Amino acid sequence: MVFTNGKLFVIIFFAIENYLLIGGESVKANRQKLELAMARACVNTDDLQRATEMPRPTVNNVISGKSVRPATLGRIAKALEVDVTEILED
């Protein structure tokens, strides 16, 4: 569905995003483990954002340990060539 009103689209998008994180499954990355995996892969935040093709705020949310969808953390792990359990919060 396409909306011509950009504000309406943004409101609906954030409502869906918040619903998925509050009512659905969410995971968190362990910041230290994630930064270690990034160091091993010799990538910085910009490199990771390009490799995952995700918006920069999403990558920043993962790095800062905020709750994200499992698929988001999976894309980060795939880009770093590690198993997702290696960067998952305990």
Give the CATH number for residue 44. Answer: 1.10.260.40
- Assess if residue 14 is contained within a domain: no
Q: Is 70 helix (H, G, I), strand (E, B) or coil?
A: helix
Domain count, the chain: 1
- Assess if residue 74 is contained within a domain: yes
- Assess if residue 34 is contained within a domain: yes
Q: Is 9 helix (H, G, I), strand (E, B) or coil?
A: helix
pLDDT digit string, tens, across residues 38-63: 999 999 999 999 999 999 999 999 99
For the cut 50, the answer to whether the pLDDT of residue 22 exceeds it is no
pLDDT confidence of 90, banded at 50, 70, 90?
confident
- Assess if residue 12 is contained within a domain: no
Residue 74 β-bridge partners: none
* Average pLDDT, integer, range 52-80: 96
- Assess if residue 80 is contained within a domain: yes
- Assess if residue 32 is contained within a domain: yes
Provide the mean pLDDT of the chain. 83
Write out the residue range of the structural domain in which residue 41 sits. Answer: 27-86
CA distance 85 to 90: 9
CA distances 86 to 9, 27, 29, 89, Å, are: 36, 13, 9, 9
